[in-house]
Structure 1
Amino acid sequence: MGTISRRELIRIAAASAVTLPSAGTPATTARLQAANRRRAPEFAVAEQVPEVFTSLPSGSQELRGVLADRMRINVEGRLLRIDADACLSGFVRRDGAGSFDAAWVGEHAGKFLDAACNALRYCEDDRLRHITERMAQALIACQEPDGYLGTYPATRRWTGWDVWVHKYNLIGLLSYYELTAAPAALRACRGMGDLLVRTFGEAPGQRDIIGAGEHMGMAATAVLEPLCKLYRFTADLRYLEFCEYLVRSYDHPHGPRIVTTLLESGRVYRVANGKAYEMLSNLNGLIDLYRLSANKTLLEAVLRAWENIVRCQLYRTGTLSAAEHFQPDGQLLTLQSSNVGEMCVTVTWLQLNWRLLRLTGEARFGHEIERTVYNHLLAAQDVSNGNVSYYTSWAGCKEFTDALLCCVSSGPRGISLIPQLACGLQQNALFLNLYVAGRMRCKSDGVPVEVVCETAFPAEGRVALTVKAERATHFTLRLRVPEWTSGFHVRFGEHTLAGIPGQLLDVSRTWPRLSTLDIDMDMPTRVLPGSPTHPDYVLLQRGPQVLALEQALNPSVPYLHRVALTGGTVTPRSAALVAGWGERQVYEVDGIVGLPAEGDQLRPERRAVQLVPFADLMNGRVWIARADRMRSDPPAVTAFARASLSVVSLGLEPTADGQTPTDIAEFLTDEDPHSFCTVNPQDFGLANYLGSPRGRRGDPVWFAVMLRSPASISRIVFRHGAVSASGGWFDTTEAMPRIELARSPIPTSANGAVPDNSKVRWETAGVLEHYPRSRASTPPTLADGQLFELRLPQPLEVYGIRVIGRAGGDYASCAELSAYG
């Protein structure tokens, strides 16, 4: 019999992982198999600061309603359809030449394992169990004898995202170990942990971990989170000491100074380079280390970050970041061009609030969990197939994908957490954090108790609870009173209790064997201002849900960005069932709609418009114009479309003190002539990260706008940005700036964000003849926002437009690039 190589073993295991057993496995068989599985392992180390909120044990709850539907879609559409070979490809082929893709490909297996194990803890599924076991076995088989489990060849170890990949392998395999108690999983984790401890540190011959990760080391130091858990399972003090080293390394030269900066400034925007995902990952690790060490400095730093985020960085839909970074305080960019709400960030923010809820039991963290779950988390999932939106903006068509991308792998982790977020135990209390239909089981002083919840929340605010106890028993039912409600009343028997918004309400009593409790919470609709970033607009929030205009439900509304509210109190009415929309929530409000008319102005008309929860939006917008600010001019066909720049910044370095980023593509299409965007050819961008040489002063730059479907245009408007002595204009010494058109679809990256210009044929439409003559070092006489127009000889159908020219000074600027029919 021949010897099977390690690579062949991996290939066989990966192939097995995608061979699904029959979906019709009898329930009795599943129960027998579950009974024969190993008991979950115990932690070897107790925490110095124990958690006060613990999720219900596995199998202790069954959820129904909208959240249960989304969890089912997550399993059926994503987890059961995982491409195991793609997840493992970076490990199998690590000895190859290596590529940009290999940098991240290693994180997907660990993310899958974590999501799948969460799903299996909630509900056993033989198909998913089979895939999960095979994925874990195949991943473990990839480990080198020295413990290395990354995707980089030996000559490139510990560069780029190598430690980050180990972080997710640790997370995934530790989650698998918690579920199965498989010794091989813990051995693999110890091998990785031992290798990290040997490789990085402050002893002679060891590497500085700050140099082993992107974003000023934050990608590498994020391994703090799983190493805390590895210490708890093993009681190996080396892992705890390594965790403390990681925190000390924050203050190494070129380090992110996470704790120090937060304690000094309290602003996440000023921490390192402001990269949200990696920073939040470190904050999660700091909470875990605080529970092990009781070092209050760590908790204080995290709470300062949390408070700054909620005050200055948080979107009403429960996400953070634009262009994957925290922005200057109060600047909330919302268009597709700004790559809003990276799914990885949404999920990691959710995890942070879950940790803080478990640590403190405070209602404010439960409130943020509710906001994120019912808005941005669900909004990034395609209900038809489980695909995920990498970024989820407040305007435009959702850009769902099934590609193997970091955010597509993060989404299932967030949705799989829902059962653990819904309710839990806090001392002798059953804590209801989310109001979800279903049933929950626990014990009070050894007495089995079942609570059945009937509700259509968040469509309505009525909740009926039935409490069943094996015998009369005393315990507390702890209810989170939503911050947004204007009235919260609990009735049982002849008693009525009133809750205070944003706080907890305890119902403490001796419960008979059978009793009922009714909760009534008002579901007010609030009109919230868009200022300071979007002062001409408002948004509607009903209960916990942000509402949005859906194009498919408003076929007679030509421009969703020319819709305003009528003023006064807004009371959404439930709309009749709409074909193709199922039983999902649809609301109707009275609005003012701008309709085409003779001349160059729109005709306002009162008309009912339909809205849906942002979580269900497919193509539309959150922003609604203020009645006193509604524009009457016909919009450009490119208004609010996705824009792109010749240099795609990765933001690897911090923004200098006193400066704010100006390379904001959203400003090209936001209809605000006062905002402008810049491009500096010398900036380090995505193309340079991929290996292209860095640009030079005076190189050509461009600003572009892309359309999802072709539009007929007859004129293009380019509005100049601001000019200063350092730049902001086009140098016309060799050529005038010109307008170019794309007549065929523009291919993009898998997440829809970056155009593949190597595959685009740009045709010259004309030059800007009236642009003032200028030189590379001498700014021309240009007014900020000065307009230049190019009229086409005849209408043309296009998929994109761009203006291109040589940057004058250090950079060129653009306040508007629009095309009109």
Structure 2
Amino acid sequence: MRKLIITICALRIALFIFCADAFAQANKLQPVADAISPAASAQLNGYLGTRLQESIDNRILAQDVDRLIAPFKTENRTETRQWQSEFWGKWFTSAALAYQYHPNEKLKGVMDHAVAGLLATQTPDGYIGNYAEAHRLEEWDIWGRKYCMLGLLAYYDITKNKKSLNGAIKVADNLITELKKKDGIIVNKGNYRGMAASSVLEPICLLYNRTHNKKYLDFALEIVRQWETPAGPQLISKANVNVSQRFPRPKNWYSPEQGQKAYEMMSCYEGLLELYRITGNPAYKKAVEDVWENIRSTEINIAGSGASTEMWFGGKALQSTPVNHYQETCVTVTWLKLTGQLLRLTGEAKYADEAERIYYNALLSATSGHGANWAKYTPLNGQRLAGSEQCGMGLNCCEASGPRGLFNIPLQMVTNTGEGIQVNYFADGSFKLKARGSDVTFTQHTTYPKSGSIELELSLLKPAEMEVAVRIPAWSKNTRLSVNGEAIENLQPGTYAKIKRNWQNGDKISLELDMRGQLIETFSPSHSIAVMRGPIVLARDARFSRPGIEAVLKPVKDTDGFITLTEVTNTTGDDIWMLYKVSFIPESYTENSAPSVSVTLCDYASAGNGSVNSFYKVWLAQLVYPSAE
């Protein structure tokens, strides 16, 4: 008992020191600038350009906005436990990102209507929400207020409309006032150890940046202080603890005691990065970097996402097995956003590598119907099925949130740095930037990732001395890069090749990436294999010819250990992005080995995404050989 008391006292002292340090650091306020900043504009062509436009036309503009506003009206404020109030903000922030990518009057008009309609529901005390007065601050009420603030601030950033900013200010002021009247504690509100409620940290920090009102910074610091109390999620002190093992398994999976909730946890860490940008407190940045590494190493699967029944569960080691409610799209989107935040802050290649994998696989695989629909869950082996309606809103959380992921990438593909330009992603299109004081149009000519050939061309009004950094993906083992035909040597996978020179109008950078098929293996809980081509996960699909999808297949590797992929023409009648023939040796079930057969693989985003709900498989189980043990 004495040892226990000493341990508890030591923990309390450590907590006090941490909190004191956090407040002292905040008082110094050493703001941190991002390493990269987005392009002024981007216009994508080809496959991605089509997918983005379909999402605008068939999902964002197709939304009944008045239905999203209806729950907030005074006569409808009767809620006690559900989350209708998140849908407006999720949809609106999707629309705002889409508008930044492709400004147009039709979308702007819809956004104008959406903001005016929401602000019309704001009561004199500043509240925007749908909870009955006696149940405010409970369940998902603060979570919904967060999304309203994020939407209103996004609209202000686009339009500079002061009514929108003032609306967000009133929501924040009302929240702070109501919390003080209640008990001043945010981490005991709602479910998941207060993570849903305290993820309001992000818009509070954004509001501080736009108003410089110290009470919002004070509130942000108080939220983080409460995280580290016994009732809180301890997001900083447990940043090095596996995200699936931070707290004991709760009796009720969806409960206030549950500390493994993936989406809400990452939302809190997004807010912590915003607070780091304001204060410069290195403990905040380190916590997010540590947890990002932990999530990637223990949870994220081959397609770039994870979580089961919306919780972290140590899933990376179990990804080749059937998993219940796997890879929720809201988790995928938030993992992509958190990764993008770290890329923006640090400019490090590993974040771009990870974001690319998420985008082309887990994210794109979740959308169908030419952008109209989003799956709630996307297994690695199984079927893709539409998610169910939630809260009587005519859509679910993932349908509202999915486009936030799609439009998170375009303006980050080619970015500004203090030294010039950084090329993070590759897609056919043009990007306008202001680098080192010069207006630059950066054009990419490519069918990537179908092809590994990318030509980058600079258009400049006058020569400019600057650095152009080009990402060399970690998976590209054999890469060639040249400027105007002159080879760049000593390329390192997983880094940026930094080319500093006096750039002229019309200069061209040629990049050739290694698109050979790579075999990915897992031995937990049993031996299974998968095939990747560049950043693309490939899959079997029951729509294609024999052998049957349940067949045991052993891959045929070339002398260098790669998989030979032969592109084939799509004759299915369905919209399939990539299609390849691959040689496998099937299990013969006799004493003699069978000859190799040609098996069709498609990209994971297309697998099971046809006119019928076909079964598909990423992970192919391999034979067990007891004699080899």
TM-score interval for Structure 1 and Structure 2 normalised by the shorter chain = 0.7 to 0.9
Q: Deviations over 1:396-452 (max 9, x none)?
A: 221135841111111011112121231211113211101111112223443322221
Aligned partners of 2:539 and 2:617 also within 8 Å: yes
1:316 is displaced (CA, Å) by 1.3
Q: Deviations over 1:617-644 (max 9, x none)?
A: 123433443553499xxxxxxxxxxxxx
Instruction: Classify 1:190/1:213 alpha carbon distance in 2 versus 1 (closer, same or farther; 3 Å).
Output: same
2:223 is matched with which residue?
A: 246
CA distance in 1, matches of 2:593, 2:58: 45
2:48 is matched with which residue?
A: 67
Matches within 5 A, 1:86-165: 86-92=67-73, 95=76, 97-98=78-79, 100=81, 103-165=82-144
Task: Name the one with the larger helix percent.
Answer: 2
Matches within 5 A, 1:537-556: 537-554=528-545, 556=546
Q: Deviations over 1:255-286 (max 9, x none)?
A: 211111225x3645316621100100001001
1:367 is displaced (CA, Å) by 0.9
1:84 is displaced (CA, Å) by 1.7
Instruction: Classify 1:143/1:261 alpha carbon distance in 2 versus 1 (closer, same or farther; 3 Å).
Output: same
1:593 is displaced (CA, Å) by 4.7
Instruction: Classify 1:494/1:207 alpha carbon distance in 2 versus 1 (closer, same or farther; 3 Å).
Output: closer
1:603 is displaced (CA, Å) by 11
Say whether residues 1:507 and 2:495 are aligned partners. Answer: no
1:182 is displaced (CA, Å) by 1.3
What SS does structure 2 have at the residue aligned with 1:435? coil
2:286 is matched with which residue?
A: 300
Q: Deviations over 1:477-536 (max 9, x none)?
A: 111110100112212235211321001101211122222221111113211112213x23
Q: Which amino acid aligns with 1:561?
A: E
CA distance in 2, matches of 1:53, 1:630: 51
Indicate the structure whose relative CO is greater, using CA pairs within 8 Å and at least 6 residues apart: 2
Aligned length: 574
Instruction: Classify 1:330/1:80 alpha carbon distance in 2 versus 1 (closer, same or farther; 3 Å).
Output: closer
Matches within 5 A, 1:551-570: 551-554=542-545, 556-558=546-548, 560-569=549-558, 570=563
2:246 is matched with which residue?
A: 270
Aligned partners of 2:556 and 2:583 also within 8 Å: no
Q: Which amino acid aligns with 2:145?
A: H
Aligned partners of 1:198 and 1:206 also within 8 Å: no
Q: Deviations over 1:90-147 (max 9, x none)?
A: 21266464365xx211111111111111111111222221111111111111111111
Out of 381, 386, 394, which is 1:400 matched to?
A: 386
Q: Which amino acid aligns with 1:557?
A: P
Say whether residues 1:56 and 2:61 are aligned partners. Answer: no
Instruction: Classify 1:379/1:582 alpha carbon distance in 2 versus 1 (closer, same or farther; 3 Å).
Output: closer
Out of 203, 209, 227, which is 2:204 matched to?
A: 227
Task: Name the one with the larger strand percent.
Answer: 1
Gaps of 5+ in 2: 1-28, 248-257, 390-394, 609-613
TM-score (norm 1): 0.67
Instruction: Classify 1:410/1:582 alpha carbon distance in 2 versus 1 (closer, same or farther; 3 Å).
Output: closer
2:170 is matched with which residue?
A: 191
Instruction: Classify 1:94/1:322 alpha carbon distance in 2 versus 1 (closer, same or farther; 3 Å).
Output: farther
Aligned partners of 1:382 and 1:400 also within 8 Å: no
Identical aligned residues as a percent: 28
Out of 584, 599, 604, which is 1:609 matched to?
A: 599
The structure number with the bigger radius of gyration is 1
CA distance in 1, matches of 2:124, 2:587: 68
Q: Which amino acid aligns with 1:224?
A: L
What SS does structure 2 have at the residue aligned with 1:450? strand
CA distance in 1, matches of 2:212, 2:485: 53
1:334 is displaced (CA, Å) by 5.6
CA distance in 1, matches of 2:51, 2:318: 28
Aligned partners of 2:576 and 2:602 also within 8 Å: no
Gaps of 5+ in 1: 1-45, 632-821
What SS does structure 1 have at the residue aligned with 2:301? coil
Aligned partners of 2:80 and 2:139 also within 8 Å: no
TM-score (norm 2): 0.86
Aligned partners of 2:471 and 2:496 also within 8 Å: yes
Aligned partners of 2:320 and 2:619 also within 8 Å: no
What SS does structure 1 have at the residue aligned with 2:170? helix
Instruction: Classify 1:53/1:402 alpha carbon distance in 2 versus 1 (closer, same or farther; 3 Å).
Output: farther
Say whether residues 1:621 and 2:616 are aligned partners. Answer: yes
Say whether residues 1:255 and 2:236 are aligned partners. Answer: no
CA distance in 2, matches of 1:407, 1:337: 19
CA distance in 2, matches of 1:455, 1:155: 58
CA distance in 2, matches of 1:282, 1:589: 43
1:521 is matched with which residue?
A: 513
CA distance in 1, matches of 2:625, 2:452: 33
CA distance in 1, matches of 2:468, 2:60: 34
Instruction: Classify 1:89/1:605 alpha carbon distance in 2 versus 1 (closer, same or farther; 3 Å).
Output: farther
Say whether residues 1:530 and 2:510 are aligned partners. Answer: no
Aligned partners of 2:55 and 2:370 also within 8 Å: no
CA distance in 2, matches of 1:144, 1:375: 43
What SS does structure 2 have at the residue aligned with 1:440? strand
CA distance in 2, matches of 1:117, 1:626: 43
Aligned partners of 1:528 and 1:539 also within 8 Å: yes
| Greater alpha carbon shift after TM alignment, 545-554 vs 566-575 | 566-575
